Chain A
Amino acid sequence: MTSETVNSAEPVRVARRRGIDGWRWAGRIFLTLLVGFTIMPMFWMVITSLKTGFAAMQYPPQWWPASPTLDNYWRLLDPNGSVGRDFLRYFWNSMFVSVATTVLAVLVAVPAAYAFSRFRFPGRNFLFFAILLRNMFPAVVFLVPLFILMRVLGLVNTHGSLILTYLTFGLPLAIWLLKGFYDNIPIQLEQAARIDGATRFQAFFHIVMPLSTPGIIATSIYSFIGAWNEYIYAYTFLTRHDQMTLPVGIQRFFSENATDWPGLMAATFLMSVPVVVLFLVLQKYFVRALTEGAVKH
């Protein structure tokens, strides 16, 4: 009886395993090609940044730099040189704007997300949708009116104009992400604290906040990356050279005269480092939070 069962099951199992293997190999090949496609541009960016201007302008190209040099990086990071001074200033500007945006976004989004998750006030759905809809509109729609608004507020050519603007496109996603986290924290925990005599605020601060730390981290990364990479508002609002952020600044640098490709590649590399490092270190929070709202548990 037993041997019969084994015998009859055997051919099926072999066939099935072979089938799976075929698909698994297809998956591996696909993944390899995709990784190649993904890293090839980044690889070339790094290779080019290690060349001199002369070595970069050769045909056929040197696939590996004949005499690799870090000169491009030293030039960008040298606070005494004119190139380095500008680059470091742009870097600092970007850092300041991004950090300020992130801190403000979290401060504003936390109470709003909590309210959207817990309270049932009239107009709640309407307001929530209105906030989400902000993400549907391209920057260009807001550019002219915001420019005039900034003129009225006296913020043109200040970092304040960027921080205020970035806040609005960081907020919708921040609120949405955090609301997802609060929705998943059982309300019974807070109720228990309330019964023990905690005020609503105490319950929030001591119970909900610690549990939503991953959400706050994710929200912060998202705001930071969004602000760090933003281009169109910074390009339009800031005309003063010493106020510029990196995406705008490096353009101004290298499009004048003939483009210095190795220098530009070194600059794009340095510009990508903070966000990539931040992202890779905190990847799990980010991925989890981003997908939290899209997938119902």
Chain B
Amino acid sequence: MSSVEKQAIFRDVPGFVPKRPSFGQKIWRSRADYLYVAPAILVMLVVIAYPIYYTIELSFFNTPASLSLADKQFNGIDNYVTILTSPVFWKVTWQTIVWTVLSTFFAFLLGLGAALALHREFVGRALLRGLLLIPWVISAVAASYVWKWLYHSDFGAIGAALVQLGITDRPINFIDNSTSALYSLIVVNVWKEFSFAMIMLMAGLQTVPDSLLRAAQVDGANPWQRFWHVTFPHLSGVSTVTILLLVVQNFNSFIIPFIMTGGGPVGSTQIWITHIYELAFLRQRWGVGAAYAVLLFIIMMTLGYFYVRALTRGDESRAGA
């Protein structure tokens, strides 16, 4: 019987005063509990803690292209200086911001609209929800190829449709053109992930008490006022989590730009992750790539702090035992 259970059982016995155990005693008493989490922790340690340590180390060294670790040379913060003084860094960072902000904004907006429209019970609702979720379920590789074909500069369906509808004279060059490529890819990304925002917000909508909405209606609030003053405040928690997850996911995007344009034309769709991949794996500049990864780490840890805080809000009061 663990100490927790003992306390739970004797809690109501008059005169029982739980003794405050020391930290070491606490660990020893809950030794059996650790067995449950040990496999998970072990896997995570091997495959996470080690790579993080290794990446940080690599970022302070100049490692030969062969990745032969015996020949690496310490070069202090040179790798970081190289990154921050390079004009490519600022260009890629700006493109990453555009990509992340626009993708997140539109995915959230479409997801919110879909969640509100699907909130009411109607025939075929589950079917529509399933249909809208398909882009999110299929692989990004498949999505990239399909959109690449839709955007094809000679035989693409979208270009041809726009010409036939009389909107443009000639098929538009969506992804072979450095001014439109990034935005064309953002459309694909929004297509792929808006339904994630949709299901999160649909669940959030279920927590909005009907009685409050009815009360607002009786008081003469119009639909917009009811949304803005009743529904929306109730969605703030789930919205925070959703937006954070979308930001993280978009910041970490790789497959869509990598497959559709490979970062081109002339680097116009290069974002952080594709850039890191190119530096490390195509140009074998391991040190600079690792330094980039460390910077990314710092950004992600900051976001992660807010993510965990939003996620575990009220967790302590809710859990049993």
Contacts and interface: CB of A to CB of B under 8 A. Distances in A.
A264 B144 CA distance: 11
Q: Among A61, A165, A246, find the residue whose CB has the most chain B CB atoms closer than 10 A.
A: A61
A38 B188 CA distance: 10
A43 B257 CA distance: 22
Contacts of B281: 143, 236
Interface string A24-53: 100110110011011101101100100000
A136 B155 contact: no
B28 to A, nearest CB: 10
Contacts of B217: 16
A283 B133 contact: yes
A280 interface: yes
B248 interface: yes
A108 interface: yes
Interface string B291-321: 0010011001101100110011110001111
Contact of A35 (B132, B290, B300): B132
Given A41-B147, A122-B27, A134-B48, A28 B126 contact: no
Interface stretch (A64-72, A78-86, A210-218, A225-233): A225-233
A229 B117 CA distance: 29
Interface string A268-291: 100110011001100100010011
B140 A231 contact: yes
A36 B146 CA distance: 16
A271 B142 contact: yes
B215 to A, nearest CB: 14
A207 B238 CA distance: 31
A244 interface: no
A296 B203 contact: no
B114 interface: yes
Contact of B44 (A141, A171, A236): A171
A250 interface: yes
Contacts, number: 300
Contact of A136 (B2, B241, B248): B248
A19 B222 contact: yes
Interface string A149-184: 100000000000000110110010001100000010
Contact of A272 (B138, B154, B308): B138
Contacts of B83: none
Contact of B50 (A16, A145, A283): A145
Contacts of B47: 142, 146, 149, 164-165, 167-168
B43 A141 contact: no
B34 interface: yes
Contacts of B304: 132-133, 136
Could you say which of A134, A276, A295 has the most chain B C-beta atoms within 10 Å of its C-beta? A295
Contacts of B138: 229, 271-272, 275-276
A209 B37 CA distance: 17
Nearest to A292: B203
A290 B137 contact: no
Interface of B: 2, 4, 23, 26-27, 30, 33-37, 39-41, 43-44, 46-48, 50-52, 54-55, 58, 67, 69, 110, 113-114, 116-118, 120, 126, 128-135, 137-143, 145-147, 149-150, 152, 154-155, 157, 160, 163-164, 171, 191, 195, 199-200, 202-204, 206-207, 217, 220, 222-223, 237-238, 241-242, 248, 251-252, 254-255, 259, 273, 276-277, 280-281, 286, 289-290, 293, 296-297, 300-301, 303-304, 307-308, 311-314, 318-321
Q: 7 closest pairs, A vs B, by CB?
A: A291-B203, A115-B36, A145-B51, A138-B252, A229-B139, A121-B30, A187-B320
Interface of A: 12, 16, 19-20, 23-24, 27-28, 30-31, 34-35, 37-39, 41-42, 44-45, 48, 56-61, 107-109, 111-112, 114-123, 125, 127-146, 148-149, 164-165, 167-168, 171, 175-176, 183, 186-187, 225, 228-229, 231-232, 236, 246-247, 250-251, 261, 264-265, 268, 271-272, 275-276, 279-280, 283, 287, 290-297
